[in-house]
Structure 1
Amino acid sequence: MVAPHVLKSTALAFLNSLALMPNTTTEDPVRFDMQAIRAVRAPNYSHTFGHNFFVSQSPPLQGTSDLDGFMERVGKMTLKLESETKEVLSVAVDAGERSAVARVAYQMKAPGQQPVENDLIWWLWMDNKGTKVEKSVEFVDPAATKELQNRMNASASAAPKYL
């Protein structure tokens, strides 16, 4: 059995890998440390979203992403964010299942808009050593997700158009 502190450390590394790099803006083509993202995920990593009804009504959240698909999705979204901060509120570990559940409050801000708090639950399953995440399910706040999308769309509409 993997020690609980190893699983918690891996869960925190997973969450921290999703932080925007300092001194980047929506003009930068890459805003995450892609090596840090890959470092804590297994080659067979897969990602899905929950809650089922909300996901069934939100085509961009449907299906399963592999590591490259996950990185592409996250990369595209961050190009629409002016800033993002997070606070890890709690992490619960199940050593027998090699899993961890984390509640994280993200403050996500589209350019020219007020931040939206997206209160997420991440459910993570680790490999046999407990040092890589093999599978994640991300439970997003449906109301916050829709509001953030509206604000990102409003920011995109207000952006200057160049010929």
Structure 2
Amino acid sequence: MASNELYDKLTATAREFVLSTSPKTAGGNEPDPDRFLAIVAPEFKMSWGHKFFVSTKPGLQGEISGKDFVAHQGKMCSNLQTWEIVPTSICVDVEKRSAVLRADFFMTAPNQDALLNDIVFWITMDEAGEKATGAKEFIDAVASAELAERMKVGMHKDTTPSPADAAKGTDPGHLRS
């Protein structure tokens, strides 16, 4: 395969890999596991960086398969209203069958403004350049911590007594821990 042709294929595969992590419907909250699994090889492994940050986050340690990533994404998006990922730049290494892709990852927790997480994916691909065989996602630790706080707010149940409860003399606030 000519170098330019392979470069174009690697670029398209890397972009599709990142975009396959988008919601099934723009503005929605449902992942698209079929799209994601279609772009990864059976031996695909996902991991995260930066090393120190990951060492403090047990859920991001080690490598996981494509199916495990789909499950990870499902848990994460259940705490989001929506998300959008926009590739912004890419660098492709034809000889190594790899690409580094930077993207703006806008994540919106329920009843919150979108939060920008500037992410970088280091993606390796098969010999043909058609499937991702591995990816390491580098995330903004400060943005991730802020998102976690915003998701806690969205998940927090309002225990303020309603006027109807107050009239009955009940106070759901007694359930606070």
The TM-score, its normalising length taken from structure 2, stands at 0.83
1:135 aligns with 2:138: no
Q: How does 1:69-148 map to 2 (within 5 A)?
A: 69-148=68-147
Classify the secondary structure of the residue corresponding to 2:86.
Answer: strand
Structure 2: distance between partners of 1:134 and 1:71: 15
Q: 2:17 aligns with which of 6, 14, 19?
A: 14
Q: Which residue identity does 1:96 align to in structure 2?
A: E
Post-superposition offset of 1:4: 0.5
Name which one, 1 or 2, has greater alpha-carbon Rg: 2
Cα distance change, pair 159–62 in 1 and its aligned pair in 2 (3 A):
farther
Gaps of 5+ in 1: none
Count of matched residue positions in the alignment of Structure 1 and Structure 2: 156
Q: Which residue of 2 aligns with 1:5?
A: 8
Gaps of 5+ in 2: 160-177
Structure 1: distance between partners of 2:93 and 2:54: 26
1:64 aligns with 2:76: no
Residues 107-131 of structure 1: CA deviation (Å, up to 9, x unaligned):
1000011211000000000011110
Q: Which of the pair has the greater relative contact order for Cα pairs under 8 Å at 6+ separation?
A: 1
Structure 1: distance between partners of 2:93 and 2:130: 14
Post-superposition offset of 1:77: 0.7
Q: CA RMSD in A?
A: 1.7
Q: Which residue identity does 2:17 align to in structure 1?
A: F
Structure 2: distance between partners of 1:69 and 1:49: 14
Q: Which residue of 2 aligns with 1:36?
A: 35
Q: Which residue of 1 aligns with 2:45?
A: 46
Residues 85-104 of structure 1: CA deviation (Å, up to 9, x unaligned):
12211011000000000000
Residues 38-59 of structure 1: CA deviation (Å, up to 9, x unaligned):
1100000000000000000111
Q: Which residue identity does 1:9 align to in structure 2?
A: A
Classify the secondary structure of the residue corresponding to 1:86.
Answer: strand
Q: Which residue identity does 1:57 align to in structure 2?
A: T
Structure 2: distance between partners of 1:159 and 1:64: 37
Residues 10-59 of structure 1: CA deviation (Å, up to 9, x unaligned):
01110111111227755xxxx12211111100000000000000000111
Q: Which residue identity does 2:39 align to in structure 1?
A: V
Structure 2: distance between partners of 1:114 and 1:18: 20
